[in-house]
Amino acid sequence: MALLRYILWRLLQAIPLLLGISLLSFFLINLAPGDFLAEQRLNPANSADLIRQLEDDFGLMRQITDADTGEVRRVETGFVFQYGTWLKNIFWKGDFGFSFSTRQPVWNVIWDRLLNTLWLSAMALLLGVGLALPLGVIAAVRQYKWEDMASSFVAFIGLSIPNVLLALLFLMLAASTGCLPLGGMRSLDFDNLSLIGKVIDLLRHVLAPALVLGTAVMAVYMRQMRGNLLDVLDQDYVRTARAKGLSESTVIVKHGTRNAVNPIITLFGYSLSDLLSGSILVENVLAWPGLGRTVVEALFAKDLYLVMASVIMASVMLIIGNLLADLVLAWNDPRIRLR
């Protein structure tokens, strides 16, 4: 019950945060000149009646009646009216709006893209953390030896090269060698492959973008793990464990690594924000059909509701990531309680 109360309390705290994010995002997007229909109005093939119909469908204009004269006029809805209507539809209907550019409900557009970004982020975290933890432990145990120097060099490279440059290097490598597929997340003959073939095909397509995103994560986690473990190995309880005759591997794994990993778990929630921000560039360079690429396409098209839904989904992922990090931290360290 304590766990359920804690999760419920954190979720309730997230509501005003999401409202603030949505309000600020809606306001900033509306500051941009023009709207989605600006380009459509300049197209001579579109009639005035069609433009009026689109304005009504997308809620950009509304009709008001003058109380004195009874005259019906069309006026722009404005920021407050559009935001209030959008928010009311979410709470009462679960409707995130209609995509201007794709002419379909926003949720239908972003659902597949959201799953693709989650798949990419999960693989990037798996690769980053899976390499960082053992490299950090080796670097700490073999301090100032060649293993430590090599791990530090790898971390330096991972922190120094921007994601977009690394993505371009992978793109050039894939184009010149043909070792990795270019663009997309599955091959053209994906439906004709066996189950194992489909899994291999998905892994081959996700490998390059996951490595690009996971490199920075690996570098940060590895340096953090090395520093934490060096501090832990200098504690009195570790010296006591050695004095009791425990093997060095037991001291490092059971008494050292488990305590040194706590700050790594805390970083997990913040890593999601780094992955989401980095995926915007990587998905566009490597043509990965994810949420980051959708945001860029929607921004260029001035697709207001598609941008808003993408921002809200990214914020929800970040909040859930931080909540999961706190829960795992409490599970790993008995000294931490959810109160």
HEC per residue, the chain: CHHHHHHHHHHHHHHHHHHHHHHHHHHHHHHCCCCCHHHHHHCCCCCHHHHHHHHHHCCCEEEEECCCCCCEEEEECHHHHHHHHHHHHHHHHCCCCEECCCCEEHHHHHHHHHHHHHHHHHHHHHHHHHHHHHHHHHHHHCCCCHHHHHHHHHHHHHHHCCHHHHHHHHHHHHHHHCCCCCCCCCCCCHHHCCHHHHHHHHHHHHHHHHHHHHHHHHHHHHHHHHHHHHHHCCCHHHHHHHHCCCCHHHHHHHHHHHHHCHHHHHHHHHHHHHHHHHHHHHHHHCCCCCHHHHHHHHHHCCCHHHHHHHHHHHHHHHHHHHHHHHHHHHHHCCCCCCC
Average pLDDT over residues 189-213: 83
Burial class (CB in 10 A: 0-12, 13-18, 19+), 146: exposed
Going by pLDDT thresholds of 50, 70 and 90, the confidence category of residue 270 is low
pLDDT, tens digit, for every residue of 137-159?
888 888 888 888 888 888 888 88
% of the chain with per-residue pLDDT over 90? 0
Average pLDDT over residues 278-282: 75
Average pLDDT over residues 163-182: 79
Neighbours of 66 (CB within 10 A): 9
* The pLDDT value given to residue 333: 66
* The pLDDT value given to residue 186: 79
Say if residue 315's pLDDT is above 80.
yes
Dig out the tokens for 18 from the structure: 């999401």
* The pLDDT value given to residue 332: 66
Q: pTM score, two decimals?
A: 0.74
Q: Poorest-confidence range of 128-132, 250-254, 273-277?
A: 273-277
- Cα(79)–Cα(28) distance, integer angstroms: 10
Say if residue 214's pLDDT is above 60.
yes
* The pLDDT value given to residue 269: 64
Please name which of 259, 258, 227, 264 lies closest in space to residue 129, comparing C-alpha atoms.
264
* The pLDDT value given to residue 155: 84
Average pLDDT over residues 317-324: 80
Please give the mean pLDDT across all residues of the chain.
Answer: 79
Contact (Cβ atoms closer than 8 angstroms) between residue 214 and residue 127: yes
Listed by start position, the domains of the chain span: 2-102, 107-332
Between CA 280 and CA 285, with CA 282 as vertex, the angle to 5 degrees is 110
* The pLDDT value given to residue 58: 65
- Cα(281)–Cα(148) distance, integer angstroms: 32
Query: Which homologous superfamily does the CATH classification assign to the domain defined by 107-332?
Result: MetI-like (1.10.3720.10)
pLDDT, tens digit, for every residue of 70-89?
676 777 777 787 788 788 88
Average pLDDT over residues 292-317: 81
Say if residue 166's pLDDT is above 80.
yes
pLDDT, tens digit, for every residue of 101-134?
777 888 888 887 888 888 888 888 888 888 888 8
pLDDT, tens digit, for every residue of 17-57?
988 988 888 888 877 776 667 767 777 777 778 777 777 76
How crowded is the C-beta side of 287, counted as CA atoms within 13 Å?
8
